[in-house]
Each structure stands twice: as C-alpha cells, then as structure tokens.
Structure 1
C-alpha cells in the first residue's frame, strides 16, 4: 500500500454543420430543478420563482438602457421582493421620467459618488473588527460590516471618506477564506501519524467531502488539510476487500472539481468514464506528484499483507508512500484512488487503484465536476462504449466524440442516455442516406433517461444527444453490431 476515405470525411463534416434538431418552443419553462431550489432557498412559490427568473433575464438590458439614459444621474439598480422587481435609482426627478421599464427611486448620491467613497476606503488599511465593505444602491451608501462601530468610524475618518455616505452594519464573525479540495493534494490523519492524498471531491446529498483510500483511515478519524487546517472526518472506510473511503469536510473547504496536476497544472474533472486496458492514465499524489502510464488490467485481485482487495485496476504508473488515495485521471475523466503497488518513481513499478464508481454507488455519493452539474450521471456502463458531456438547453452533441462510425454488417444498434435529474434530454440514432443525416431511431420521452435499439443495414451512423430542456452533465452508451 502507498499511504504515504477523404470524400467521406468531408461529407461527414458538412453533415455535422447542418445537424437537425427538434422544433423548440419559443419560450421554454425553467428547469424544475432550478425552480425547486429557488422555492426552497428563497421561501417563495413556484409562480414567484418563474416570474423572478423572467424579471432577472430582462434586467441586464433594462439596466444598460437606464444607465445610458440617466448618465451622470445614475445611482445603481437592484431587485426587490419575491418576484425580483427591478428598481433603478437616480438623483434627478426630471431624468427619472424617461425610465418606464423599471420602478424608480430618487436618491441623494450618484453611483459615481458612492464609488469614490468606496475607493477611499479601499486605500486605507482596515482594523480587524471591520469585516467587509461594499456599495449598496438600495441604501444609497457604502455598507461597512463591523463588530465595532467605534473602530469603523475611526477608520472611515482616517480614510477621509464622507461619513454620511457610509452605513454601518453589525457583523459578529470575521470572514475566513475557503480552502479548495483538489485531487492529489496532501492531507493528514493526526491519530494515525501519517499523510495520504486526496482523490476526488464528492457529495453525499448536500454534504461535501472527498474520496481517498480506505487504508488511510477508519471511520471517525479526523483529518487536516495540506495546510494543517482542520479539514474533516472519515465517514466511510472499507479495507481490505475494498480500498476506498470518503471524508466529510467542514465549512472551511470548497470544491471546484479539479485535480492538482502539479507540473501539468490544475485539471478539470468532468465525468468518470472508465478507461480500458491500453488506455493512458495519470496519477496525482502528494509525494511524487504527477506521473502517467497505461491501464494494464481491470478487475484485478491483489493480495496485500493486510488482506485481499478485489476489483482494483492495475497500471504501470509509478507511486510511493504518501501517494495513497490520490487521484487517477484519464483526460478529464475520474478513474479512481491510488491503493498500492510495488517499485518507486526512480525504478518504476506497478500501481493499483480503487475504481471510483464502486465507492460512489456504495456510499450514495456524487462526483463533483468542474463548471457543471455537481451530480453527473454514471449510468449506461453496460454498453461497450461510453461517452460523457455537458449541455445547456437547446444544445446538441454528436457521438462517438463528435464523429460517426461505420457498420459493415447488418445488426442491432443500441443506445442509452443517462441525463441529470429534472431535465428533458433526448437521444437520436442517425444514419447517412448519401446526402444528409436522417433519424433512424429515437428516444424522446419527457424524461432525462432514454434507450433505443435499431436493426440496421451496413452504413454510416452517429448518435445525437439533444438537451430539449434543462442543463447538466450526461453519460451516453452505445453498442455497435
């Protein structure tokens, strides 16, 4: 273990440019997932949520127009009430008469004047009791959050700022920075006296944490981050038989969905499609950092001194003590967590990793991805080929990997789509008829998940994933004749 034919190409490209798509409604309703979250977190009704989203979508153009019309008299804008009604502020009652697309509030100070006040505060070092400050158009003031009014007033005076343009608000707790969960970073288990490496950020419901190796800690063990800041607690741990664990992190930690590739830079995680034998994979760990190799075997059984571990993946990537738990990743697809092996990064060797899918399923976890749906689907694994992607409403994606495939025999084409919750994603199998792509089979129910089969003759085929409504990450599987 390691704790420590050229004409056809042109034809296909032209066909991709002209990809057809289903007829879309002129005004689609917002995704149910977004409406549900707004209702829950803002305490509003579904109708108010729909009205709010529409108002917020219109606001950008309205604000730009109002600011241009009001010129030097513009004093900012804000949303008000459960339906986010737009309010525009101005210092001129006369100029206000030209604004008809929003509510108007006449105030004493312009946005430029407030900006000058804030800039003067920015140039003066604050006391520890002053926690933050920002322009508030609604208050027509710069709002200073502080735990000591006396300290704040002295600081404002020293900065030479207009005291009448500043509003003090009580603030009990000083803000603290968040620390990022990044695959490959070190973390420490004080009760055990050693160091391991972070695998991937993953959630259980709304609770954030990260995956790692089971032999790194037992359920209940506390952890510290790479910076020795208190980090979290092991909630799931299995070793031997398996070698996986999940650490629940505290509120000081955030997850951008990335791996620290050290010399390779910060790498996004966008899914968890499995790399097959012969495919390349790389590993990030806190001892030897970034190394790459190839997958040699899936479903390997390993006889460690501590006991037998099943269903690991064997690679020729090197690793050393302290790399345990670290991230194995192929491209932007999470593979698993470093388990153990032989050799080192001077002489080489064999390293095994625990596939991440088993832990995600067993622990009820979802992988956190970069810039996308924090709950990416992982289905369709039974198909011979799987692909992942992310779409926003109205977009299409072609597979395999933006291209087509040729079938030289008659037989069954089977496709599967596993989309995110509360959306309507559709799957189409398309065949080239000599001049254009035509739909041979479809899965276009109002649900996020689709399956289709088609008994086809030899020819050129492709799959198209369409986000009819809603946005998020998906997994698509296909099996060819």
Structure 2
C-alpha cells in the first residue's frame, strides 16, 4: 500500500514574491487513451470548488473521484452504485457510474508501489477515465517499461501506461528568485501566522539551505522554519528582514495576481504556473493523488498538470484566478506547449505549518 504522508511540521521581499516561483532539480487490458487535455481546461469557480469539497467529504470512498467536464464545465462525480449517484445528484453534481471503485483504484496504485516502484515513473488517479494513469520517462529501460505494462495488464483495465519525454526531476538553476544552500528556487506564496510573515516553497529547496536571499550572494531575507522532502515536498521560510510582502504572484507582464484563498485542484480544471525560468505557463490538471519516483526518493499525493516548466522553476506557484493550488515540485520537461508539471497541494503545507494565504 502507498505510505501515508506525514504532516510535519520591503523592496527585497516584495520583489521576492513577485518573482513568483521556481522548480528545484538539477538542471538537479488497457482502455483507449484519454482525449488530449493539453489545452487550458475548465475554469473552476468558487461554487464549483465548494461543491467538489462537499461531495468529496460526504461520499468519501463511495466516490472514485471527481472531474470537470471539458465541454460543459459540470462537476462530475464518479460512483459505482445508484445510491451514491443519487446522493451526488442531490448535492448538485452530475453523477457518472463507473467500473472501478475508489478501493480498486487504491489497490491498483498499491500494485505499482509494491511491484514496479521504478525511478523515473509516476502514477495517479484520473477520474475522467476511471484509471490509474502511469507515466514512464526516458530513463526507464525497455525491461522496466515491460514490467509496468505487465502490472497494468493484471489490473483488469484499472490502469494505463504511457511514455513521456525527458526525465522526472526536481528543477534547480541559477538566476533571479530565491537563493539558499548554493541553489536557486522560487517562493510560491506569501503566508501568515500570528502576524508573522513567511513564504512557502518546495521542500527539496528548503532541505538545501537554512538561510535564503533574494539575490545570489545577497543579504538574507528569511530563515527556514520547516522542511519536508521526500514523501512530501514543501517547506516554509520566515521573513527576518522586517519587510511585509504582498500576497501576490508575478504574472511576468508587469502585473501581479492577488492570492486570497487556497483549495485542492480538480481534474479537468485550468491552472497556471508562475516560475522564474519559464515564467507564466498554462495547462490542465490531469491526475490527482500522484506518486512521483524521483531519483532521491518518492513523493506522494501530488497533482499532475500539462503546464510547462524547466530547471529553475522549483518551489513556484500553481494557481488559478485568486486561488492558490500548489507548490511546484518538478516535471519530465515540456514538449511544445504540453508539459508535465507536478505540484505539491498547498493546502497540505498550510495545514502542516498552521499558516494561511493573504
């Protein structure tokens, strides 16, 4: 079975968060394939997010997951029995009867965890196809890929396997953003607790250093107060230079976006990523509860998107409108406009550190 994630716990500053985001890495019987979802996805408004949280909480394991219909924008709740379908409809969502239950999908993920835990792979739940979507990067050998396919064949259509270009890695480079431990990352979101100011970023960034600056070799603007990687990928830095930065994300067009709330992403929704290397890119959420097997350890309960990213984007912001969704972790690269950016759900980091966006 999949291990459970633990819940551990001024001018320069404003510029820091305006830089937005960066990714750490060392630049460190199958069902038919799903439709191409590399476009912008569906915009999820506050009512849809609230409905998703409500039905997810109410139905629990009676639902195999939710997604947004690409044509209508409706929230679709996948279920395996008519009673759960009626409950979903009563809540105001559209119900869809599917073959594989939440328990079966968890079991399928456990099969890959136990039998094919291979560096360079990731897997997660795609409710739109009612499958575990498995990806294997270019470092996965032919024999290892055959093992993944063999596991998928044993799961009665509950999983599919595909190749992706590049290699899954955390994404770190030099350049504008935040600097610590000899690495460059980016801040995701400014957060607060008891009137103190912090920013959250990737845990593989905060693992690298305790003191962080806004320029390479510059004066420290913050000190690490928490870090968690692997298993999770989040960390928190407290501002120590007396500044009070705005709660915004850089849009790299001379403007910023206010961040006023945080939520969990839904498969099918549109999302943006702000990072200091690829700046603002857009994509669609394609899988949740994703496991990524990096070379230095796995991370769990991540979110997969089609946004582009590159070395230097680690720790950056995944957002839509005024809502914070994730902290950029890594990717296998980008082909054209179709990427594979992975984010750590920001709600988990906020809960772990008892902070909130503002």
TM-score normalised according to structure 1 size: 0.38
Question: Structure 1 residue 332 and structure 2 residue 322: aligned?
Answer: yes
Structure 1 residue 320, shift from structure 2 partner: 0.5
The CA distance in 1 between the partners of 2:286 and 2:11, in whole Å, is 42
User: Taking structure 1 as reference, are residues 332 and 351 closer, same or farther at Cα in structure 2, changes over 3 Å only?
Assistant: same
The CA distance in 2 between the partners of 1:219 and 1:360, in whole Å, is 21
Question: Structure 1 residue 356 and structure 2 residue 346: aligned?
Answer: yes
- Larger RCO (CA within 8 A; separation ≥ 6): 2
Q: Deviations over 1:192-244 (max 9, x none)?
A: x1210110001232221101000012286100014834211111110000000
State whether residues 222 and 241 of structure 2, in contact with CA within 8 Å, keep that contact through their aligned partners in structure 1.
no
Structure 1 residue 275, shift from structure 2 partner: 3.1
- Classify the secondary structure of the residue corresponding to 2:341: strand
Matches within 5 A, 1:25-104: none
State whether residues 188 and 317 of structure 2, in contact with CA within 8 Å, keep that contact through their aligned partners in structure 1.
yes
Question: Structure 1 residue 286 and structure 2 residue 276: aligned?
Answer: yes
User: Taking structure 1 as reference, are residues 347 and 272 closer, same or farther at Cα in structure 2, changes over 3 Å only?
Assistant: closer
Structure 1 residue 254, shift from structure 2 partner: 1.9
User: Taking structure 1 as reference, are residues 190 and 359 closer, same or farther at Cα in structure 2, changes over 3 Å only?
Assistant: closer
Residue in 2 that maps onto 1:297: 287
Question: Structure 1 residue 212 and structure 2 residue 46: aligned?
Answer: no
- Classify the secondary structure of the residue corresponding to 2:282: strand
Structure 1 residue 177, shift from structure 2 partner: 5.2
Q: Deviations over 1:421-452 (max 9, x none)?
A: xxxxxxxxxxxxxxxxxxxxxxxxxxxxxxxx
Aligned length, in residue pairs? 192
TM-score normalised according to structure 2 size: 0.50
Residue in 1 that maps onto 2:17: 182
User: Taking structure 1 as reference, are residues 307 and 206 closer, same or farther at Cα in structure 2, changes over 3 Å only?
Assistant: same
Q: Deviations over 1:49-87 (max 9, x none)?
A: xxxxxxxxxxxxxxxxxxxxxxxxxxxxxxxxxxxxxxx
User: Taking structure 1 as reference, are residues 283 and 222 closer, same or farther at Cα in structure 2, changes over 3 Å only?
Assistant: same
The CA distance in 2 between the partners of 1:345 and 1:199, in whole Å, is 24
- Specify which of 245, 255, 259 is matched with residue 245 of structure 2: 255
The CA distance in 2 between the partners of 1:267 and 1:245, in whole Å, is 22
The CA distance in 2 between the partners of 1:323 and 1:203, in whole Å, is 23
Residue in 2 that maps onto 1:200: 189
Residue in 2 that maps onto 1:223: 212
The CA distance in 2 between the partners of 1:341 and 1:291, in whole Å, is 13
State whether residues 206 and 236 of structure 2, in contact with CA within 8 Å, keep that contact through their aligned partners in structure 1.
no
Matches within 5 A, 1:127-142: none
Matches within 5 A, 1:387-406: none
- Classify the secondary structure of the residue corresponding to 2:351: helix
Larger-Rg structure: 1
Matches within 5 A, 1:161-180: 179-180=13-14
State whether residues 179 and 214 of structure 2, in contact with CA within 8 Å, keep that contact through their aligned partners in structure 1.
no
Q: Deviations over 1:95-152 (max 9, x none)?
A: xxxxxxxxxxxxxxxxxxxxxxxxxxxxxxxxxxxxxxxxxxxxxxxxxxxxxxxxxx
- Classify the secondary structure of the residue corresponding to 1:209: strand
- Classify the secondary structure of the residue corresponding to 1:253: coil
Structure 1 residue 312, shift from structure 2 partner: 0.4
The CA distance in 2 between the partners of 1:278 and 1:178, in whole Å, is 37
State whether residues 177 and 184 of structure 2, in contact with CA within 8 Å, keep that contact through their aligned partners in structure 1.
yes
- Classify the secondary structure of the residue corresponding to 2:17: strand
State whether residues 12 and 214 of structure 2, in contact with CA within 8 Å, keep that contact through their aligned partners in structure 1.
no
- Aligned-residue Cα RMSD (Å) equals 2.1
The CA distance in 2 between the partners of 1:345 and 1:195, in whole Å, is 24
- Specify which of 210, 224, 238 is matched with residue 228 of structure 2: 238
User: Taking structure 1 as reference, are residues 188 and 182 closer, same or farther at Cα in structure 2, changes over 3 Å only?
Assistant: closer
- Classify the secondary structure of the residue corresponding to 2:271: strand
Stretches of structure 2 lacking an aligned partner (at least 5 in a row): 1-9, 22-175
State whether residues 183 and 208 of structure 2, in contact with CA within 8 Å, keep that contact through their aligned partners in structure 1.
no
Residue in 2 that maps onto 1:365: 355
The CA distance in 2 between the partners of 1:280 and 1:220, in whole Å, is 33
Stretches of structure 1 lacking an aligned partner (at least 5 in a row): 1-175, 369-481
The CA distance in 2 between the partners of 1:269 and 1:340, in whole Å, is 22
Residue in 2 that maps onto 1:372: none
- Classify the secondary structure of the residue corresponding to 2:244: strand
